[in-house]
Structure 1
Amino acid sequence: MMAVNEQVRIVIREFNANKDCRQVEEVERRCEVGPSGKLSLFTDLLGDPICRVRHSPAYLMLVAEIVVGEENRGIVGMIRGCIKSVTCGKRLWRNNHDFPKLSHQQHLPVFTKIAYILGLRVSPHHRRKGIGLKLVRKMEEWFRENGAEYSYIATENDNHASVKLFTHKCGYAKFRTPSILVQPVFAHRVKISKTITIFKLTPTEAETLYRHKFSTTEFFPKDIDSILNNKLNLGTFVAVPKGTFSCINEFLTNPPESWAVLSVWNCKDVFKLEVRGASRMMKGLAKTTRLMDRAFPWLKVPSVPEVFRPFGLHFMYGLGGEGPLSVKLTKALCDLAHNLAAESGCGVVVTEVASREPLKLGIPHWKKLSCAEDLWCIKRLGEDYSDGSVGDWTKSRPGLSIFVDPREF
């Protein structure tokens, strides 16, 4: 029994991998995420609670623990955050010496230092006590101390508690509404059109292409080279009409009228997901589609993968392209990504794009598994000290595309 005069405090401190892992995992298990209904999505971080941010340039994980008197009673919440430099706008190119490799472009990127909050969790029995707010404010202190000019978060539109916390109590504003597109991985391989040639780029070639074509895209990471050289990056692929080029160097120097590009990130080795709360009938129907697909692959049955046990995913990022055939070429790259995921035993292939992304038409996905409107909220932490100021980024209008960092998915 707790004495009446014992003081109950919530202490926010840095995560300690040597002693906090078990308690953090337990809180994660209690905090299943997803829409309020029968189905919920459980995230398994594979024994490494900080793995979702450790690949970023700067990162931190905080925990909230209950302290009664002098006794620690356990962890009841946590939050993760990271900081990086991304494109927040563009300025007109006027000087050949500014960026010689991009001398033919009209605009150059304007970078800003931005922080990202993810993995905010509070144990269900300790909610509505201000613990989430304390975690966010403590994380924002670290952001400011490390020079971040903005902070942003991603949450589901229908997660009313999260939206209220950030927009009403923490001063964030609704900013972008990208779409999360999810494609099941079937038992059969998806055929890729023979009229299309696909090249795999080296990390150096991929960096050249991305900086050349996408450096002014909103949220483009300044350290794109670190992402492309990361062991979790499975490759960058370019699709062009067959017979257009014989080698990738020719493409980089003189791209065709139509082309498309994407990269694939291995989330399977970072975390796994599991859908819980499905009925026996739903599980039975899903199993039937898989059995049919395996037995008769030539029928190309759109089977439902085994998502009712822990499953991994591959994330497609850096999608882009140009020309009248770019949508068709994007579809071919997504088919390639599907087959790579099938070889790795993944359950789904996922990507996230701007709601008005022109190439969205070429991305295969199931509406029932996808999210038409994810919600990104942003907050200005201080003055904008970026080179070539764009003013207050939080008030800028959305463009057609965004660059989604796979390290933060």
Structure 2
Amino acid sequence: MVVEATETIVVVREYDEARDHLGVEEVERACEVGSCSGEMSLFTDLLGDPLCRIRHSPVSLMLVRTYVAETATGPNSTEIAGLVRGCIKTVVSGTTTTQQARDPIQTKVGYVLGLRVSPRHRRKGIGKKLVDRMEEWFRGRGAEYSYMATEKDNEASVRLFTGRCGYAKFRTPSLLVHPVFRHALRPSRLVDIVHGLEPREAELLYRSHFAGVEFFPADIDAVLSNSLSLGTFLAVPAGTRWEGVAAFLASPPASWAVLSVWNCKDAFRLEVRGAPRLMRAAAGATRLVDRAAPWLGIPSIPNLFAPFGLYFLYGLGGHGPDAPRLVRALCRHAHNMARDGGCGVVATEVGACEPVRSGVPHWARLGAEDLWCMKRLADGYSAGPLGDWTKAPAGRSIFIDPREF
């Protein structure tokens, strides 16, 4: 597809690794988020390749596509002006209620994983043309909806998608981040944690508990068996007897909680940039004190001013009045896993009304408020029993796919 953008000819085409690798890398560097003080940003992946995050989600797990916008810089030279990545998957969009049960409604959706336009090529319509091309691919693969995620205060992104691309503001999840201290967090004596459920056991539990939760992926088995998934953990009141998932689902305790851990450290690194020297020195002092006297349990700030890794917590949920407390115990366990794994933070993302949200320890300064926007791709598709999903009210929970983080 060839388009004109402010007297500049731009070609939007599929990404070619051999041809486009260096150009895409340059665009990624130019578009790094977080150049302002105190913001977290994508820094680099372990191979120096900005597409590494995508390659950890092969077609067998998610159908992924990348397009680039190429513009001429001379008679015989071109450069990459922007890129967009997207994937297609089948997720739960709601439920229908019958006399027998509540049955999940599954919908094929396209997700705009990332849109980048080089700063010196902005305001030329390139971003919209990239999104349009990705939506064409979504439609060709049978996706009924397209959605994207950005930070609420990213005015340029929100303006592009809602103002020019026809998306509607849809959901407002929160990214909750907690630093990893030098000392391990003590487990609660009131909670037992069932370690390392087998992927098949975790799948049975998740399909039962999240059956009607928005964005729950149909291929949850592929997520749980991915090499980046470090395990699923279940928290129950101390003394609860564990006899396997089948027995648990048949007769669960009054309260319980569950989460899984995803290893982002092996996919990409983050860093905090622009922090004042005084802040860096104060953070270093907390680490020194924690190293000298770990028994004091002082909240030490890790070195977030150099590249660091993170573990992402997904599948966060539970049931019963004590579920938030049990989630807190699981988060402490995940913190200790991240400490042993050499990570700087643990993070999770939860819906605005998530029932167990109050149990997630986090530092507000490190987190972010996100905005998900959605668009129905074609009027020709049957709305189905749910109607138009873009107009559906938000549920209490939302499932965050770790492959999209």
Query: Is TM more than 0.5 here?
Result: yes
Checking the alignment, whether the CA contact within 8 Å between 1:29 and 1:42 is kept in structure 2 is no
State the shift of 1:330 in Å: 0.4
Q: Which amino acid aligns with 1:332?
A: A
Distance 2:206 2:331 in 1: 18
1:142 aligns with 2:144: no
Distance 1:254 1:228 in 2: 24
**Correspondence for 1:225:** 221
1:197 aligns with 2:198: no
1:340 aligns with 2:345: no
After TM superposition, what 4+ stretches of structure 1 lie above 6 angstroms from structure 2?
Answer: none
**Partner secondary structure for residue 315 of structure 2:** strand
**Range 86-95 or range 202-211, more displaced:** 86-95
**Correspondence for 2:239:** 243
Distance 1:360 1:210 in 2: 18
State the shift of 1:385 in Å: 5.3
Checking the alignment, whether the CA contact within 8 Å between 1:149 and 1:384 is kept in structure 2 is no
1:211 aligns with 2:207: yes
**Correspondence for 1:401:** 397
Distance 1:38 1:314 in 2: 20
Distance 1:240 1:228 in 2: 21
Distance 1:239 1:283 in 2: 36
Q: Which amino acid aligns with 2:26?
A: E
State the shift of 1:48 in Å: 3.6
**Correspondence for 1:88:** 93
**Partner secondary structure for residue 28 of structure 1:** helix
Q: 1:63 aligns with which of 62, 65, 68?
A: 68
**Partner secondary structure for residue 54 of structure 2:** coil
Matched pairs, number? 392
User: Structure 1 pair 384/222, CA: closer, same or farther in 2 (3 Å)?
Assistant: farther
Deviations 1:70-98 (A, max 9, x none): 53321121111000000001012456xxx
**Partner secondary structure for residue 156 of structure 2:** helix
RMSD of aligned residue pairs (Cα, Å):
1.8
**Correspondence for 1:41:** 41
Deviations 1:249-286 (A, max 9, x none): 43233211110000111111111111111121111111
**Partner secondary structure for residue 52 of structure 1:** helix
1:24 aligns with 2:24: yes
Checking the alignment, whether the CA contact within 8 Å between 2:36 and 2:274 is kept in structure 1 is no
Deviations 1:206-227 (A, max 9, x none): 0000111111101110110000
Checking the alignment, whether the CA contact within 8 Å between 1:110 and 1:386 is kept in structure 2 is no
User: Structure 1 pair 108/40, CA: closer, same or farther in 2 (3 Å)?
Assistant: closer
1:289 aligns with 2:294: no
Distance 2:146 2:26 in 1: 28
**Range 281-290 or range 42-51, more displaced:** 42-51
Distance 2:240 2:65 in 1: 47
**Partner secondary structure for residue 148 of structure 1:** coil
**Partner secondary structure for residue 20 of structure 1:** helix
Distance 1:35 1:143 in 2: 32
**Range 267-276 or range 229-238, more displaced:** 267-276
Q: Which amino acid aligns with 2:374?
A: I
Q: Which amino acid aligns with 2:186?
A: K
**Range 224-233 or range 129-138, more displaced:** 129-138
**Partner secondary structure for residue 143 of structure 2:** coil
**Partner secondary structure for residue 283 of structure 1:** helix
**Correspondence for 2:4:** none
**Correspondence for 1:52:** 53
State the shift of 1:35 in Å: 8.1
Distance 1:362 1:45 in 2: 31
Checking the alignment, whether the CA contact within 8 Å between 2:104 and 2:212 is kept in structure 1 is yes
**Range 130-139 or range 161-170, more displaced:** 130-139
* Unmatched 5+ stretches in structure 2: 1-6
Checking the alignment, whether the CA contact within 8 Å between 2:148 and 2:373 is kept in structure 1 is yes
Distance 1:384 1:335 in 2: 48
Q: 2:104 aligns with which of 100, 104, 109?
A: 109
Q: Which amino acid aligns with 2:162?
A: T
Distance 1:385 1:377 in 2: 19
User: Structure 1 pair 72/93, CA: closer, same or farther in 2 (3 Å)?
Assistant: farther
**Partner secondary structure for residue 153 of structure 1:** strand
**Correspondence for 1:357:** 354
**Partner secondary structure for residue 18 of structure 1:** helix
**Partner secondary structure for residue 162 of structure 2:** helix
Distance 1:305 1:317 in 2: 22
Distance 2:326 2:39 in 1: 35
State the shift of 1:57 in Å: 2.0
